[in-house]
Amino acid sequence: MKKTKKMRQEELKNKIDQTPFITDEELAKSFGVSIQTIRLDRMELGIPELRERIKSVATHEWNETVKALPIEEVIGEVVDLELDDRALSILDIRPEHVFSRNHIARGHHLFAQANSLAVALIDDDIALTARSTIHFSRPVKLGERVVAKASVKGEDEKGRTIVSVHSFVENEEVFGGTFEMYRSHQ
């Protein structure tokens, strides 16, 4: 049974509320309609495009500034940050991130996204990665969006801050890591 426009728009609003960083392309695929239909639905509902939703989340939730490195040096776009607690960044995999022969993202880009997010999370003028343990769960492909979620788990016996980072494409984990962070006030 085909959904009415009203039903589709209601589901669209719920889906965007649950997954604010979902693209129009992903929504079109999910609802089995054209990208243009999604854009028109969003406009009717007063839902901004993805880039504006990202900026809105960053503006409303980001009350502190990154101390350990300039924000433009973080790999990916930081969209949420609570120093010494949690952080979130988004990295869209573009041609410059992948191997040309198979369109699979080079691992150092996923690592850089996670590591720089772990550094940005530290509420200190100096934060350096002392050690990390990482694993890649599956290859990431050209055009995919990687959402990295970082959280502080506590301190180790040396006083280093332990940061856990998990990166996802949609709801599938593609990268995980634990970072032991040295900070200047240890």
Query: Residue 37: which residues within 8 A CB-CB, separation 6 or more?
Result: 28, 31
Query: Residue 128: which residues within 8 A CB-CB, separation 6 or more?
Result: 119, 181, 182, 183
Q: Which of 113, 130, 132, 131 is nearest to 184 (CA)?
A: 130
Residues across the chain: 186
Reported as a single tens digit per residue, the pLDDT across 4-56 is: 889 999 999 888 887 777 888 889 998 999 989 999 999 898 888 876 766 66
- Identify the structural domains of the chain with CATH numbers, from first to last: 5-55 (1.10.10.10), 62-183 (3.10.129.10)
Highest mean pLDDT among 81-90, 116-125, 128-137: 128-137
Residue 139 has pLDDT above 70, yes or no: yes
pLDDT value, residue 62: 44
Reported as a single tens digit per residue, the pLDDT across 169-180 is: 988 999 999 999
Query: Residue 81: which residues within 8 A CB-CB, separation 6 or more?
Result: 61, 62, 64, 66, 87, 88, 120, 121
Confidence bin at 90 (pLDDT 50/70/90): very high
